[in-house]
Structures are given as C-alpha cells and as structure tokens.
Structure 1
C-alpha cells in the first residue's frame, strides 16, 4: 500500500528580521524546494533565479502573513506562483536551451499544468491533500480528480496504453484506498467489488504500479544533489540586487516609459456637458495624465495627506478597474530641497490587501517619471504614480502604508536630468492613508481576426477597453511538432486611427480552460477614453520560435578535441570533452552572421542510456541588432535600450556534468540535439473590423 504523506513543518521567522533571515530559512529547507523547482524548470540558472525571486517576494509579503497556514505552506504558495512566472519567462529560456533533469521531471512535463502542480505538491513536496487543495484554490475532491487524471496520463507514458478497464464508479476511490484513507464501509464495499471484478483488479494494479513508481522516484529525489555553491550563488544575486539597484531602475525606466501624449487629444473631443469639468481640471491639475482621468469622471480628487520627519505625502487620486489600481501621489520635502519617489518593491504595502484586493492579479510596473517638466523643475516636490492590484469589490477603502522612499537627484552635469541617487539613498518614516476607491467599468469587444505567422495560426480573440489600459487578448495554436511560437512581440495597436505602443511590463500568459491546442496571452497598451472601436489594426514586430531539428552527435572522450560537426547550416565545435569526477564539456560557434539558430536545445546521454544527475552550465553570447550589427557584451560599450530589436546568440556553452547519486563518472556517449530557438522579424499588419 501507499505510505502516508508527511505534513509540512510550521516555522515562522521573526518579522523584524530582513532578507538575511529569509535566506537562512531557505538554506535550511533548500533540499525540498530545490527538488520542487526542478520539477517545473529546465536548468540550474532558472532554479537559482527561482530562489532569488521567491526570497524577495517572501520578504516583501511577510507583513501580511497571518498564520492561517504553516509558514512553509505559505512560502510554498509564493514559490509555486514564481515557478509559473519563470515557466513563461522567455528571457531565461532563450539563453538556456538545455533540459537536464531526471526522467520523472520530464514525464511530469507531459501533464496538463493543473495535473502537474497537483502531482508535484502531493508526491514530490509531500504536502497533504487538504493543504495542496488550498494552495491550488480547488476543493479536495477536485484535487483527487487531478491526481487521478495525472496518474492516468503517466500510466500511458509508462506503456500501459490508453485503455482503462476498471468500473467507472469505483475509479474515484483508487487514491483513497491506496493511501488507506477510505472510510471503513466504503473500503469493505470496494474490496468486495475488486474481489469479483477482474477488470478492476487489473486496472487498480496498473494504477498502483504507477503510483508506487512515482513515490519511489520522489523518495530518491530526496537525495537529488543541491550544489555546494547553490545558496552562495543566490546570496550573490541578492547582493547584486542591492548593489546595482540604481542601474536596474534606470533600465526599467527607459524601457517602460510610456508617454502620456494621448491625453492631449481629449481636449478636442469634449462634449458640451463635460466642457466645464474639462476647463476646471485643465486650470487646476498640472499632472496631465491624472487630469485626463478626472475630466472623464473616472476618479475624484482626494488630497489625502500624511507627514513624517519633514516629508509630506499627498495622495491625489486613485483609479481602479479590473486590471489594476492606479494611485497618483505627490511627495514634498518641507525641510530640505530633496525629491523622493515611491518604490512599489520596497516600502509600499496594503495592510488590508487580502480583504480588498484581487490576490491573483499582479500590479503593473511604472518606472519613475524622470522626464516630466514638473519633476525636472521641482527642487523639493515629485509627482508620480504606482500600480496596485485591482480591488475585488465594487467599492472599498485601501489601507495604504508607506515606510520608505527612494531619493532622486539632479545630475551635476545637467540640471535638467533627474536620476536615482548614486548610493540608492532612502528616506524612512511612516505615512498611513485610507484611500477610497470605486471599481470602474471595462468594455469587452469580441474580435474575429486570424493570421498565419510562419505557418502557425494566431487568433485575435478580444479587445478590452478599461479606464487604465487597452488590453488585447490573442491565442497561438501550437499543435505542430516541428515548429512552435514561444513569444510574439507587437510594434503597436491602432484603434480608430489612434496608435498605442505596448506596455513592455504588461503582458501575461492566461491559459484559460479551452482548446488545449491554443495558448492564450494578453498584452497591455495605453488607455483610450470614451472610444467605441470600429477598426483595430495590430502591427506585429517579431516572434521567437522553437524549431524541431533532431541530430545525434556521437561522443568519444578518448578522441582529441576540438571536433566539429554540421548542424542547421553551421559548423559547431566541441572544444573540450574531459571525463573526471566532474565531466567538462565545451561547445562553441562564434560565427553568427546568417546563423539559423540563436540557442540550441539538447541532451547529453551517457553510458547505459543514463542522463547526468546535474549539469552546471555557463554561456557566453553576443547581441545582434535588426540590421546585423554585433555587440559583444563583454567588450563593446553600448546601451542595451538603444539597440533596435536585439537578438541574443549563444556563442560558447560550458558544461559540468556529474553523476552525484551513483558516484560513477559521467561518460558522455552522444549529444542529442532536439532543436533550436530563433527570432524572426515581422512587418505584418492584421486589420480587424468591428462594424
């Protein structure tokens, strides 16, 4: 029978401690979370990134932890959510195209997302069914259905075939019976039926085989090696975050800056009944973006104020819809000539977030507005906005708490250039607000547009015009084995002759419950006020593709290296293959002109058809812009933001292969290339009429 599962340990760190205490906690629990991360992700770098992001989020959300579940379960929920984000993070996957995980993890990849999460949390993380159901926000009965269908799918992968021979009314009891949780009366009835039904006997036996195999493999995962430098690498990432925060803010600011010029168009579109309101706000509100919302009646002036240590914060207004809550603010230093900005990642929290806000929605990122005339000319005043999650009710009051502000300075060489202070200086204090908000209405329009891109259908499903954004929902049909679209980029969206640029931080993967051959996404553009769309033009920019192109390269450590082979029109060099306690392998291709691939997807197979237990990989590469100009990231000084549609080509991949569990040397016998990633530029325009 199946052994009972282990419930998670409940440990709650002291809230007054910082990121270091969270890192220490993860260090103590690294084995189970490391294995959990590998269940979803493809390589070591992604798992390190997963730990790094999870630690940051746990630290940020810690004030809202209310002991309603164990601390470990609460952390696991954040960890799983971060896994989902990284699973669809193109930047991490594009430069790391190798999959080097144990067989069980690869088998789990064949499952549907909800089945996989249910299986991993229940059998890999060994969380109770009740806690797992709570984490996945489903009922226990629904969880059992997911576990059952997941095991059925694995059963197919293990060669039992598609046929299910057991009686339908008894299949629902398989898991409870095998886990010895089936109540006595049902157990007796079940065993009597099984005794007389050979089909159910055979069906239950194969089901149990798969379940036992799953548990046996996951028990071995407890010895799944965590590299000795793993936590140190995560710690270095945290240190780098603190050290280079200024550079990151600059980069995000330049990439994410969305001009508010569209609001100037409103002046020519006022109806008579709104003329007085328009004139009033034109004369009294300097913030052009906020002025447009107020003129449309989408918010109201609040002028809430709080002061701490000579710094006064004013909440000017808040506009909420189903996608986000925009909070417009002004910060004034009443004692000195300093300017400060709110940083949503640090020092900003909503004390009643669980009660009033949609917990499944992520706030959008808006970089500091360092180019507005008001802020450039100001000496002690800054005007800005932050995005919070949307409210879950029609009306409510947000309990907003500010404890830290980021300092801005004027460049000494150019007084008209505002930037973040060199040493990331902060102003601490406590500013508390009760902000009333009303959720504004959004309007959805069904679209009927479809276009083939590289032979793959792309469907445009829906346009949503919300007060704070215009959202385009689209789907990609990825049922081809030879080619699939991993990411689609847009140049602009034109609605009724008004052009909007995409929000680089406003896209997301939706995965609604519909045809599994289609993957559904949404991308955010700027807002359009009072518009009823008649025609929508979508300008495509580029796609990132995965191309299946299989090739097997035989490896022999006894040969002298380098050795070369041909693939996808390129000559690739195996520079090194040295077998030892750790087997070192290096492949390279420095020729990127007209190269078909940007990164490879491959596996290394050893003796007895085994895969290495772990692969540590480092890569080097260059950026190539749309015009073919090459930028060496280690040599050539350049500004990434100024490169036109850059592509990242991997030129060198260094691998360290180990058999940690067996203790035997990893002797590579062949390299199996499954395919490659590449980017194609587009100039297609999709025209969709709504009339």
Structure 2
C-alpha cells in the first residue's frame, strides 16, 4: 500500500500525466526509462515537498525535479539496452542533437508551455540568458530542418526575433524592426526560417493529446512504489529487531574485547594514519582497504568504507605523483556509483563533507590529500559499490576560504577515469522513541526519535505548520549529550522528512557527530537558535510624483523609502541601517500597482550586514571566515525592488505591502529526556 502523501503526489501526476509524459519523452528513449523517470520524480517530490498550497509554485517545483531526473536518466545507459530503444519522432531526434541548455529552454517553453520568465527561474538563469538559449536552440534546429545554421541577416536584430514573433515587443522597437525588414531581404529570410521552427515546436505542443500514454503506465509506477514501501516497512521492523539483538549481546562483545580489543586498538593505532577511520576500525566497524587506481600521474587509494542506514562513508587518499597538487572528490560532480539503483537506498539525503585542511594528516605532504566522501546508504545488508571517478577538484593552498576552494570562484579540475569495486557491509543502528513535547519561544516542538548509527547521531523532531501569527522556519541545535559525551550538531546536515503522521506538523531531522555504541539512559538536548517568521502587516501608500526619501515606522524602527521611480521597470528602494536592537533581520515585502490583477514579475536585491551572536558586525573587507563566526546572521540594510508588467506597460506603484518579518532568536534551553 502506498503512503497517503505519496498517493496524493501520484494522483497529482495522474491529472497532469499528458504534459509530463511528452516532456519526459523529449529526453528519454524507452518505456523502461519513462517508468523509472516518474518513479524517481515521485520519490524526490515526496522527500522535498513542503506545506505549499500554491499550485503554481508546486508545479514549478515538480517540473524542476522532473527535468533534473530526465537529465540523470538520459545519461544513464544502464537503463537502456540497444534493443530496447524505441523509434523517435523526427523532432525529438532533432532535440537530442541540441546542447543541454538549448534543449532545456526549448522543451520547457514550447513543449511544456511554461513562460520564459518561469523557465528562466527553473533553469536559474536571467531572462536575457533564457532568450539567448532559445535563440541558440532555434538556430540549431534550423540546421536540422534544412535551413542551415547560419543567419545571414543583421546581427543586431537577432535578439528581437522572439519578442517580435511572440508579440511582446515594445511598439517603438517593433516599428523600427518592421522598417528594417522592409528593406532587408536577408533578415526577412532569417525571420521566416526562425518562425517555421517556432511554429513546428508550437504545433507539437498543440498536438500533445495525440501522444499515447501506454495503458497501465501509472499502474506500473504505483506497483513499484507499493513494493518499495513494503520493503521499507520490513526493513524498519528488521532494524528494530537488530537493535534489540545488538543490545542483548553487547555485554558478550565487551567480554570478548577484553581478549581481542587491546591488540586491535594497538594494531590500528599505528597502522592507520587517518584518526577518524582509525576510530571506526578500532570499534570493529568496517575493514581497512587498500584499493588503488592511477591515471595521468594521479593515484587514488581507497582506505576504507563504513556503511549504515544513514550513509556510506568512503575514506580515500589522493596523491599527485608528478607535482605538488592536492585533489579532492566531489560527490556532486565527477563521482558516480554505477550500480547505485541496485544496492543503494534513495530514502536518505546525500551529505556533503567539505575539504578540511586543518588536520595534521592532511598537511603531511603537499602532494597528498586524505579525505572522505559520503554516498547513499545501502539498501541491502552487504554489497559491492562500483565507484567511477571521472573528475577531481584541485585545492588552492593559498585560498582564503576554509574549504580550500579558490576565493575567486574559479575551479580547476583533473580529469581521467579511476574505477573501484568497494566491498561494504551495513552496520546496524538503534532507534529510541523520545515522545517529548516542549515549547520554544512559545511555539510547540515535539522531539520524537533518537537514532544512534555508527556514522552519525540523528534527532527527529516536528514543528507545527498551521501557526498563523508566528512560526518557526528553521530550528538549530547546539549539541546532544549522551552518557556525558557531547555530539556537536552538523549545521549543514539537517533535512526535511515527510512522515505522513500529521498534516498539521512538519517533521525534520538534524545530524550530530557519531556516538559509537552508546546505550543512552538520559539525553540532554541543547538548542542553539531558531529562525522565525512573524506576521505583522502594514500598508504604506506610494506616490511616484512625490519627493523622496520619506520615512515610516514599522516594528519599532524607522524605515526610509529612498526612491520610487517609474520607467520601463518600476524601482522602489527602502533602507534601514540601524541594526542595534532591531526587531527584524529581513522584511517580507512587495510592491502593488494600480491594477492589482495585472500580471507582473518582481526582482529583489539586497545589501546586508553580517553580525555575530554578540552583535559584532563584519564587513567584506575583514579577513574572517563565516564558519568561525559564532552563530552568524544577516541584517538587510538596503532593499532594491524592481517590478515590471508582463504586457510591457509601465507599472504605476500604488502601495508597499509588508506582510511580516524574519528574525533569529538565540536559545540556551537544555531539554533533559529520560529513556529509562
């Protein structure tokens, strides 16, 4: 049986199946891939879904996940044997020849029917860049359709073709272009060919109903989701049984260690240099490996791997045998588990471990780096990870950044191919029900479950999502204390969980440092800070004919309206540089025009000041690392708001609407929980 929240996502896809099916077929080549696409997308949406009641925003979020998954599958040859490839329509074949950014822009705009503004937002590019991608894509399709790839017309008018054909061009520019077209034969031919390609794409969009979704397509996806849920429930039951078995034999293991532990501890203390891996090995978790591969003078050695229900950590050493360079792995780029969908679970979130150059072992040699990388947890009790490395990130020893990346943002890579087969066995975890209900800043919080795994300690908690006047956006912890041992919270290791337990509560999980084989009797939870939203509405009338700056009072502060300007874009600038004792860090704000129903887009840019817990301000000129600042937060001092209508007409600002504000509250609360 599919959980209720996954079923609601499946129902949503049933209602939007036709458009997403055609969108997926623009990237993929077999029904097997298509079923895998919908299955993976539903799982990802299930993990990332928030209490978002805005249907348009939800569809954009789903589309973004869908496109990303299309890219993954189109690059994954393991899901497509040559004989399984199905015939492709000519236009789809032509789309396959485009560059990735061209194809994304074309299918979102002309096949999915998303506006250029929304498509630009999904692809995280500016609207101007989006137009360039569409122009480039149409030019590439033009060649496939027999027109050739070269535009012979006047280059300065190329950028206007889209707006002209879509009838969104400013009247003055439109007249200028039409005058030019009257006298320029080359531009006439270019525009005609350009229009043919656009019409071909638009006709495909209009004929989406002709695309046949195979009978039983979604039923196959549902059956797989139900099967995965069944295995998950069985795994949870087995995990609990393993926890009981682990606890019952703990005393026996301690007795055995009296005879064997001293030798193991002594052996690994000198045999393994990496202190973190050595600690795991001394606890009998995992085995020491010595897997090697070398390409282009760069040697990678896999030292060990530790797997549990949270993640799989791979410890490695990279040596540059030709020069004094250090390289690291990045699991977002150049690291691929070829059999990921056979042996790994996708119910967990992938964790990031940024490079750490502080430890002695990493500074022993200038051409050697010892590091670790987090992969997804195993879905089986044991297996062999087929790991392929195709790209390594070069560290910059002179960088001002703690992680060693170039401060300028320029990344250097070493490419090649290093392949490993890594044997791993999943270590058991133990779960403890907490059932603790408290209030944090007058907002209820439930502490629900503690999981002690070899590689991390997890705290599951829930906060209400139906609060109307004040609610928690983020809750940070300082540490967990178990048996007088403190586990520090990982500020970047939190995640959202969709447990389907209570629609009025959102469930989250925070990762802490591992607590090896601790059996807690009491747990102390130390809070760090909360980031809250306060609803406090205020309306300020605007008049572009008045002189500015003008001021108004809000939440105990005096805010200045520095500028109200009506041009092609309406610009409103507000500022408040007094941050001491200010009630808010940022405002939730918008500009409303005379015609409130007129569709428009709004762009916001801000200037901020970084402030630590003690109120000390840091500016860009100060040589300070963000991670070294005690509980930092940003105060917005200047807010630039730009609004333009979708029709191209000027938007006359009528009022400034403030809906509320955000603020960080520091906490010193310690919750003591007894598990006895």
Q: Give the TM-score category using the shorter length.
A: 0.5 to 0.7
Q: For 1:250-282, what per-residue CA distance to the aligned partner results, in whole angstroms no more than 9, with x for missing partners?
A: xxxxxxxxxxxxxxxxx9x96444333222222
Closer/same/farther in 2, CA of residues 346 and 274 from structure 1, 3 Å limit: same
| Distance in structure 2 (CA, Å) of the matches to 1:420 and 1:647 | 23
Post-superposition shift, 1:511?
2.7
Q: Identify if the C-alpha distance between structure 1 residues 132 and 480 changes in structure 2 by more than 3 Å, giving closer, same or farther.
A: farther
Contact 2:27 2:70 survives alignment (8 Å): no
1:684 aligns with 2:669: yes
Aligned pair partner of 1:535 in 522, 527, 530: 522
Q: 1:666 aligns with which of 651, 654, 671?
A: 651
Find the counterpart in structure 1 of residue 635 from structure 2: 649
SS at structure 1 position matched to 2:603: strand
Q: How does 1:122-133 map to 2 (within 5 A)?
A: none
Is 1:321 aligned to 2:308, yes or no? yes
Task: Output aligned runs, 1:295-444, within 5 Å.
Answer: 295-408=282-395, 419=404, 424-444=411-431
Counterpart of 2:544?
557
State the Cα distance separating 1:412 from its structure 2 match.
Answer: 11
Paired position in structure 1 for 2:168 = none
Give the match for residue 39 of structure 1.
56
8 A contact 2:532–2:663 mirrored in 1: yes
Once residues 132 and 481 of structure 1 are traced to their aligned partners in structure 2, the CA distance between those partners, rounded to angstroms, is 43
Choose which of 639, 648, 653 in structure 1 pairs with 2:625. 639
How far is the alpha carbon of 1:129 from its aligned partner?
8.2
Q: Which digits, 9 at most, give the CA deviation of each residue in 1:480-513, with x for residues without a partner?
A: 2110000011111111111111112211011310
Partner in structure 2 of residue 257 of structure 1: none
The aligned residue for residue 615 of structure 1 is 602
Change (3 A) 1:674 1:649: same
Distance 1:627 1:384, change over 3 A: same
TM-score (norm 1): 0.63
Measure, in 2, the Cα distance between the counterparts of 1:11 and 1:431: 32
- Counterpart contact for 2:399–2:406, Cα < 8 Å: no
Aligned equivalents of 1:326, 1:307: Cα separation in 2: 21
> Structure 1 residues 641, 412: closer, same or farther in 2, change over 3 A?
closer
Q: Partner of 2:179 in structure 1?
A: none
Partners of 1:135 and 1:568 in 2: CA distance: 54
The equivalent position to 1:8 in structure 2, one of 14, 20, 23, is: 23
1:526-555 CA-partner distances (Å, limit 9, x unpaired): 111111011111111111110011122222
2: CA distance, partners of 1:434 / 1:5:
41
Aligned twin of 1:570:
557
Gaps of 5+ in 1: 15-36, 88-124, 143-266
After superposition, the Cα gap between the structure-2 partners of 1:650 and 1:527, relative to the gap in structure 1 and judged at 3 Å, is: same
Query: Contact 1:604/1:612 (CA < 8 Å) preserved in 2?
Result: no
Q: How does 1:515-526 map to 2 (within 5 A)?
A: 515-526=502-513
CA distance in 2, matches of 1:585, 1:131: 54
In 2: Cα distance, 1:367 partner to 1:480 partner: 36
Deviation per CA, 1:34-90: give whole Å up to 9, x if none: xxx993389xxx99xx98x99999878864366769999x989xx9xxx9xx99xxx
- Is the CA contact 2:577–2:637 (under 8 Å) kept in the aligned structure 1? yes
- 1:607 to partner: Cα distance: 2.3
* Counterpart position of 1:212: none
Q: Does 1:675 align with 2:665?
A: no
Q: Which runs of 5+ in 2 are unaligned?
A: 1-14, 30-53, 86-91, 109-117, 123-207, 227-253
Could you tell me whether the CA contact under 8 Å between 1:484 and 1:546 is conserved in 2?
yes
After the TM superposition, which residues 452-471 of structure 1 pair with which residues of structure 2 at under 5 Å, given as runs?
452-471=439-458
1:612 positional shift:
4.9
Q: CA deviation at 1:283?
A: 3.1
Contact 2:24 2:70 in 1 (8 A): no
1:137–1:442: structure 2 CA closer, same or farther, 3 Å change rule? farther
Task: Tell me, yes or no, if the aligned pair for 1:456 and 1:478 is still in contact at 8 Å.
Answer: no
Deviation string 1:108-129 (CA, Å, 9 cap, x unpaired) is: xxxxxxxxxxxxxxxxx99998
Q: Evaluate the alpha carbon distance shift between residue 9 and residue 643 of structure 1 in structure 2; reply closer, same or farther with a 3 A threshold.
A: closer
Relative to structure 2, which stretch is displaced further, 322-331 or 572-581?
A: 572-581
CA distance in 1, matches of 2:530, 2:403: 35
| Aligned mates of 1:316, 1:643 — CA distance in 2 | 34
User: How many Å separate the matches in 1 of 2:27 and 2:540?
Assistant: 51
Q: 1:293 aligns with which of 276, 280, 283?
A: 280
Matched-pair contact (CA < 8 Å) for 1:459–1:476:
yes
Higher RCO (Cα < 8 Å, 6 or more apart): 1
1:378 is paired with a residue whose SS is: coil
Q: Which residue of 2 aligns with 1:96?
A: none
* Residue range with higher mean Cα deviation, 378-387 or 675-684: 378-387
- Alignment partner, residue 481 of structure 1: 468
- Aligned in 2, Cα 1:61/1:368: closer, same or farther, shift over 3 Å? farther
Contact 1:612 1:666 in 2 (8 A): no
C-alpha separation in 2, matches of 1:450 and 1:418:
38
- Helix, strand or coil for the counterpart of 1:302? strand
Select which of 64, 72, 75 maps to 2:76: 64
Shift of 1:446: 0.5
User: In 2, are the aligned partners of 1:470 and 1:528 still within 8 Å (CA)?
Assistant: yes
